[in-house]
A and B are shown apart, each in its own frame.
Chain A
Amino acid sequence: MPLNLFHRMKYLNTFGEYLLFLKISIGKPEKFKIFRELFVRDLYQMGNDSFGIVSIISIFIGAVAAIQIGYQLVGSLVPMYVLGRIVRDSNILEFSPTITALVMAGKIGGNIASEIGTMKVSEQIDALEIMGVNSAKHVVLPKLAASLIAIPALVIYAMFLSNLGGIISVNLSGIVSINGYINGLLMDFDGFSVTYALTKAFTFSFLIITISATHGYKTEGGALEVGWASTRAVVQSCIAIIFFDFILTQMMLYK
């Protein structure tokens, strides 16, 4: 069999495994009380533990975006107050949802794959199955539900902080007057850009959790394989995020 065909078959096989995993892991929780406890724990871990990194990255991305775009506008015919508007739209439409999702893929995606992978190799998943618990649903569903709240919430938080970062950097660098920049920020605001960003956030949340959980769940072996599963989860989540970023942008912005 030619090598490229073999690889295509392998990718199809992986995709098939992913779909089968989705089929068994998504549905009504088996015991709502236990689901709620796990959901609260996961929501806290995903949300609270990610505030710091998301805050730092968002402020600096907003600050850098304002300086870079300002640098490109200097000497052009475009009025400088437009800077605020361009930075705002860039932050809301692209930077906040995509960069936050990429950070979360690295942070919680790797964590989920290694947590579930460790459960698999230490027979905790088998223990659940023998008890009569749908192990896939038990470990994935609370994380998925928590991520669908935590990640969009972090994206909204990142939108505010990245624009705040822009204001701080404009104020410090003096590219344009702060009043002019803020006027630009408030100019022609379209609520659809937030809808678009949140659609991306929900999609990315789903991809991060399900891809990472799939890799964790099919781990076999020991610590080494858990590490590989974690790496694959992060890499494939990032690729999926970038790919769906393109698809959603095409679908939603050029209807």
Chain B
Amino acid sequence: MIELKKINKSFESKQVLFDVSAQFEKGACSFVIGSSGGGKSVLMKTMVGLLTPESGSINFDGRDFLNINYEEKKIIRQEIGMLFQGGALFDSLSVEDNVAFPLRMFTDWSKEQVLERVNFCLKRVNLEHVNQLFPSNISGGMKKRVGIARAIALKPKYLFCDEPNSGLDPITSRLIDELIAEITKEFNITTVINSHDMKSVFDMSDQVTFVYKGKVWWQGTKEDIRDSNCKELIDFIKASEF
């Protein structure tokens, strides 16, 4: 479980997150929804340690992520997988080397062991026979799937996905959604997904957190959304394509 308590984050004089508290359960797909500029991406970057909040605490299964040194943070970071909006694949490496990168960096496995794991991860995201292609030679949907394969290579405990279906056609979007949901259940991962896509939220979320103007305005399940009295949440859902 990931637990946030009273997170505040500012950029110079502009405060972006205000006392954000939330919990994300293990083995569940937790969606963070909200309008653009509402603080979702800043919240995710803060959770994974790319940004440091001014105050508050972040706990990964009871382990404080903020008040620890760099080496201790590295251990937790190796348990985190992240799928970026644009894939963030390493341009200079082939698909195989991209997925192999964390394995080669953090394990002492032999070449054969690494290749076996890489092939397993690629097969798991329904990508085979693309090992030697480079990111510039594959489609946006394939990049996302390679990104997922790289994120799960080290068997992470926590998976963060930043707008996983942005820029994808509806069919590929559903495939990516299904893949994330399956992987979450299969490997019992704590998954946090930033999304605008309400269809994804209603299809696969176990928990929804609504962030608006840098604050958590509502947290519950998808079943609770329709009964919610939160006007901002209802307006957001009505305005969405769904």
Contacts and interface: CB of A to CB of B under 8 A. Distances in A.
B84 A126 contact: yes
A130 B91 contact: no
Contacts of A132: 73-75, 77-78, 106
Interface string B96-119: 000001101110000000000000
B234 interface: no
Nearest to B78: A132
A123 B74 CA distance: 18
A127 B104 contact: no
A130 B104 contact: no
Given A131-B78, A132-B75, A132-B77, A126 B102 contact: no
Interface stretch (A28-36, A89-97, A231-239, A240-248): A28-36
B133 interface: no
Contacts of B106: 131-132
Contacts, number: 52
B192 interface: no
B78 A129 contact: no
B104 A123 contact: no
Contacts of A34: 104-105
Interface residues of A, number: 16
Contacts of A126: 45, 50, 84, 88
B86 A122 contact: yes
B49 A129 contact: yes
A118 B90 CA distance: 10
A126 B82 CA distance: 10
B75 A123 contact: no
Contacts of A123: 84-86, 88
B88 to A, nearest CB: 4
B105 A133 contact: yes
Chain A interface SS verdict (over half): helix
Interface string A18-54: 0000000000001101100000000000000000000
B48 interface: yes
Contacts of B80: 130-131
B50 A122 contact: no
A14 interface: no
Nearest to B102: A131
Interface string A114-148: 00001100111011011111000000000000000
A34 B80 CA distance: 21
A131 B77 contact: yes
Nearest to B76: A132
Given A126-B45, A130-B50, A131-B105, 11 more contacts: A30-B105, A33-B104, A119-B90, A122-B88, A122-B91, A124-B88, A124-B91, A130-B77, A131-B78, A131-B101, A131-B106
Q: 10 closest pairs, A vs B, by CB?
A: A132-B77, A123-B88, A132-B74, A127-B88, A132-B78, A123-B84, A130-B82, A130-B48, A124-B88, A131-B102
